[in-house]
Chain A
Amino acid sequence: SQTIHQWPATLVQPVGSPLSLECTVEGTSNPNLYWYRQAAGRGLQLLFYSVGIGQISSEVPQNLSASRPQDRQFILSSKKLLLSDSGFYLCAWSVSSGNHNEQFFGPGTRLTVL
Chain B
Amino acid sequence: SQKIEQNSEALNIQEGKTATLTCNYTNYSPAYLQWYRQDPGRGPVFLLLIRENEKEKRKERLKVTFDTTLKQSLFHITASQPADSATYLCALPLTGGFKTIFGAGTRLFVKA
Chain A contacts to B: CB under 8 angstroms: 32, 41-44, 46, 49, 51, 57, 59, 88, 90, 92, 99-108, 110
Contacts and interface: CB of A to CB of B under 8 A. Distances in A.
What band does the interface of chain B fall in when counting residues whose beta carbon is under 8 Å from A?
A: 20 to 34
A32 B97 CA distance: 11
Interface in B34-89: 34, 41-46, 49, 89
A74 B4 CA distance: 27
Given A32-B98, A51-B98, A100 B43 contact: no
8 contacts: A41-B104, A44-B89, A46-B99, A90-B43, A100-B49, A105-B43, A106-B43, A108-B41
Contacts of A59: 99
A101 B43 contact: no
A108 B93 contact: no
Contact of A43 (B49, B89, B93, B99): B89
B7 interface: no
B102 A43 contact: yes
Contact of A102 (B34, B102, B105): B34
Interface string B11-55: 000000000000000000000101000000111111001000000
A106 B42 CA distance: 8
B2 interface: no
B9 to A, nearest CB: 12
A6 to B, nearest CB: 8
Contacts of B101: 46
A44 B98 contact: no
A16 B105 CA distance: 32
Contact of A105 (B4, B34, B41, B45): B45
Contact of B98 (A42, A101, A110): A101
A100 B32 contact: yes
A110 B99 CA distance: 23
Nearest to A92: B43
Contacts of B44: 44, 90, 103, 105
